[in-house]
Amino acid sequence: MTLMPPEHQWYPPEFPDVTLLQPVQFDRELAGELQAIGPRQPVWATIEFEGVGPLHLKCFAAAASETAVLVESSWQGRKQDILVERCRVTRRTLQPRRL
């Protein structure tokens, strides 16, 4: 049995934990009672992120009230639930998948 020299030993990759930019959320008290949307609807949302400014992102609406929409965004590679003022959200249509 041959042992590999230490410089050739395999180690699992290490991934640093990424700090997510924080969105500026709409005030929960002003939002009122949110009603769940099912199934989730595709939307465009203009979301303000600290240090970056406003971004126009593809999202999915999960819940809504008369003044706010709770959207799901994966812009930073991880799902974030963001409460956005209703006037900053518009509907979008999904394109059919090509086979």
Predicted structure pTM score:
0.78
Model pLDDT for residues 6-30, shown as the tens digit of each residue: 676 777 888 777 788 999 999 999 9
pLDDT at 9: 75
Question: Residue 73: which of 53, 94, 46 has the closest Cα?
Answer: 46
pLDDT at 5: 59
Percent of residues, the chain, with pLDDT higher than 70 = 92
pLDDT at 4: 57
pLDDT at 83: 98
Buried-state track 13-50, b at ≥16 Cβ within 10 A, e below 16: eeeeeeeeeebebbeeeebeeeeeeeeebebebebebe
